[in-house]
Amino acid sequence: SSRQRVNSELFTLTYGALVTQLCKDYENDEEVNKQLDKMGYNIGVRLIEDFLARSSIGRCQDFRETADVIAKVAFKMYLGITPSVTNWSPAGDELSLILESNPLVDFVELPDNHSSLVYSNLLCGVLRGALEMVQMAVDVKFAQDTLRGDNVTEIRMKFIKRMEENLPAGDEARSLTIMIFD
């Protein structure tokens, strides 16, 4: 529906305005990338609670299930797309999320002097922050980017380790322990 389209355009356009502002504030693309990751992380640590409240997802059995939930539920819910989950490492600790289309880059073209900019880097931070809140340390980065001329956008996600639980008091503890490996 056109109303829904306008809503996601609000996020997309705001994101574009943010990246523009960051490019003004920072000397080089690496700094902008870092800032986007940091901001994404700050969003992720809060978004996870919003997600758990909306989706009533139960405990994930393993990293595979976590990846499926991220692709089929979380991405769908917040960005209206469903990336495919592929390219699993033999150890099952690393995977790719392939985005046929990336709503963040609608109407965006990278100017020539920003070849190192990872435009959608916020997403990496969001995933990292959100998963950290459910005791998973992950490394997330873009492996392919349609903005840089690749055919698809590929996010590579690697499970690093399970983190020690800092048990916060009361309700927080309940919601944070829902998504933990057995």
Partner 1 sequence: LFVMADEALFQFLHNEVIQYIYKSSEHGEMENGRCITKLENMGFRVGQGLIERFTKDTARFKDELDVMKFICKDFWTCVFKKQIDNLRTNHQGIYVLQDNKFRLLTQLSAGKQYLEHAPKYLAFTCGLVRGGLSNLGVKSIVTAEVSVMPACKFQVMIQKM
Of residues 76 and 156, the one with the C-beta less far from partner 1: 76
- Nearest C-alpha neighbor of 37 from the set 101, 108, 132, 112: 132
Cβ-count burial 142-152 (b if 16+ within 10 Å, e if not): bebbbbeeeeb
Minimum Å distance from CB 44 to partner 1? 9
End-to-end Cα distance, the chain: 41
* Residues of the shown chain interacting with partner 1 in the complex, contacts defined by CB under 8 A: 2-11, 13-18, 20-21, 35, 39, 42-43, 46-47, 50-51, 54, 76-80, 107
Q: Closer to partner 1 at the Cβ: 108 or 143?
A: 108
The distance of closest approach from Cβ of residue 26 to partner 1 in the complex, given in angstroms and rounded to an integer, is 11
Residue 88 C-beta: closest distance to partner 1, Å: 26
CB nearer to partner 1: give 54 or 64.
54
